[in-house]
Amino acid sequence: MSRPSLVVGGAGFIGTNVADRLLSEGRDAIVFDSLSRNGVDRNLAWLKAKHPQVEFVQGDVRDRAALRAVVERAGEVYHFAAQVAVTTSLVDPMDDFERNALGTLNLLEELRRLDNPPPLVFTSTNKVYGGLEDVRLALQNGRYEPEDALVRMRGVGEDRPLDFHSPYGCSKGAADQYVVDYARTFGLPAVVFRMSCIYGPHQCGNEDQGWVAHFLIQALNDRPITIFGDGGQVRDVLYVADLVDALRLAQDNMDALRGQAFNMGGGPENTISLLEFLGTIEDLRGAKPDVAFGEWRPGDQRYYVSDTTRFRNATGWEPRHTAREGIEALYAWLGGTPAKVAA
């Protein structure tokens, strides 16, 4: 009998989608989560209702004993548990460090103590590359674009020097490098994804993190949207089902990919600026959202687009959803009804 998949942070946005996919494929899955983030209890209730066979273990990655009890049973591990917001890390850097860096090191140590450790996929962040201040940008048609044609065509690659900004960037960056080094030094089968903007069902988006869902939720509830900066910021967005495809491929190809970090996002073909997204919301609702502007926030990149070439070449992965298709799917999941357009 195969060992269950362990989804650490499994009641969170990405974890819920991964657990759902695994359970729908007929695999056994253990959802390990502290339930400390607002809204994840609803995700867990949904998982239990759809998949009564799911095993839930409430625990914290800062508790090595709790981790040990589930890691030694796992056939594969997905690690999503984290403090996820730059702004929160500025308020309490120590808590941010303990959840992100120490929590990941605890998990790695529990894997290392096993004779045959299960393969691990860890989700890092594009914030490990810092503010990208040296990437020269031009504001064109309300969006920032790189002046360098190659960066504009392909995005930011893994050869970009690491440059941790903010306590969040430091804690996630440290965790990122620990995973890479444990694969190199101790031979752990592990892969890192440095992720751009992921969005989709079960995302508890707020002003600090998960901006695609947050903007839609605000608009649907007729509440104002605050944009920090001028709104020209550009991101590549990736629908969560496409990320789950990539995560599964990483596990399936672990022997070839182990010890590597891959940039993961929608790529140059799925970019959107904040101002353009406001236009998409207007198209969906038939009315302009109420918008206010605030000061730029520390560590906010004016432009970040993932170059996913290395992972695509290694696995054949491609996003299946365009940005518009994914945004419409999330809007519908949140309860929105697209506005009728006159013929």
pLDDT, tens digit, for every residue of 79-128? Answer: 999 998 888 899 999 999 999 999 999 999 999 999 999 999 999 999 99
User: Sign of dihedral through CA atoms 35, 40, 42, 43?
Assistant: negative
- Find the catalytic residue in 78, 129, 144, 168: 168
Alpha helices in the chain (DSSP H): 13-24, 40-50, 64-71, 86-91, 93-97, 103-112, 149-154, 166-185, 211-220, 240-252, 254-257, 274-285, 309-315, 323-333
Q: What is the pLDDT of residue 85?
A: 85
**Rounded CA separation 287/339 (Å):** 9
What's the whole-model pTM score?
A: 0.95
Q: What is the pLDDT of residue 208?
A: 65
Triad 271, 194, 143: Cα angle to 5°: 25
Q: For 30-47, give one letter per residue: b (16+ CB within 10 A) or e.
A: bbbbbbebeebeebbeeb
Q: Residue written as tokens 């253990």?
A: 30
Active site residue 168: yes
**Rounded CA separation 10/275 (Å):** 32
- Written out in words, the top-level CATH class of the domain with range 82-333 is alpha beta
User: What 3 state SS string does 138-184 have?
Assistant: EEECCEEEECCHHHHHHCECCCCCCCCCHHHHHHHHHHHHHHHHHHH
120-125 and 234-239 beta bridge pairing: unpaired
- 174: number of Cβ within 10 Å: 18
**Rounded CA separation 232/225 (Å):** 15
pLDDT, average across residues 51-55? 98
Q: What is the pLDDT of residue 343?
A: 28
Transcribe 9-28 into DSSP letters. Answer: TTTSHHHHHHHHHHHHTT--
pLDDT, tens digit, for every residue of 15-51? Answer: 999 999 999 999 999 999 999 988 899 999 999 999 9
